[in-house]
């Protein structure tokens, strides 16, 4: 049974920060794992846009705001992206009877998109 779905688009250009703004935005929005992953990539702005879209899609799937840095994108060994909840928000999975969170992210040079399905 589907408990929730969410989709979001992010314009990559909005994530091409200078170092100072990137550090400020990172503290507010991203997890340390997300920043480390993105900054290892040549096209890091595309990754940051994708992560932001995944966070927003997750918030939409749950139907309410969750603090940005309490939603994180991680990766399985295969490279598959997965959503992780932090800072006590893991309880939402139990409260909503969510058995699995499915995530897909894609991006081009200009746009990133993410789609989340909460399975109960």
Name the phi and psi angles at 118, rounded to 5: -95, 120
Q: Is 107 a catalytic residue?
A: yes
What is the pTM for the complete model shown?
0.95
CA quadruple 28, 29, 31, 37: dihedral, nearest 10: -120
What is the token pair recorded at 103? 């995530």
Q: Choosing from 21, 28, 41, 60, which is the catalytic residue?
A: 60
Across the chain, which has 120 residues, the per-10-residue mean pLDDT values are: 97 95 94 96 96 98 95 96 97 96 97 98
Domains of the chain: 2-119 (3.90.470.20)
Q: Is 60 a catalytic residue?
A: yes
Q: Choosing from 64, 75, 102, 107, which is the catalytic residue?
A: 107
């Amino acid at each position: 049974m589907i408990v929730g779905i969410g989709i979001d688009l992010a314009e990559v250009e909005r994530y091409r920060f200078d170092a100072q703004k990137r550090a400020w935005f990172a503290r507010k929005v991203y997890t340390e794992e997300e920043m480390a992953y993105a900054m290892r990539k040549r096209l890091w702005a595309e990754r940051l846009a994708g992560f932001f879209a995944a966070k927003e899609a997750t918030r939409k799937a749950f139907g309410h705001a969750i603090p940005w840095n309490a939603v994180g994108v991680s990766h399985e060994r295969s490279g598959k992206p997965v959503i992780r909840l932090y800072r006590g928000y893991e309880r939402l999975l139990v409260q909503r009877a969510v058995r699995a969170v499915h995530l897909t992210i894609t991006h081009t040079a200009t746009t990133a998109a993410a789609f989340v399905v909460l399975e109960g």
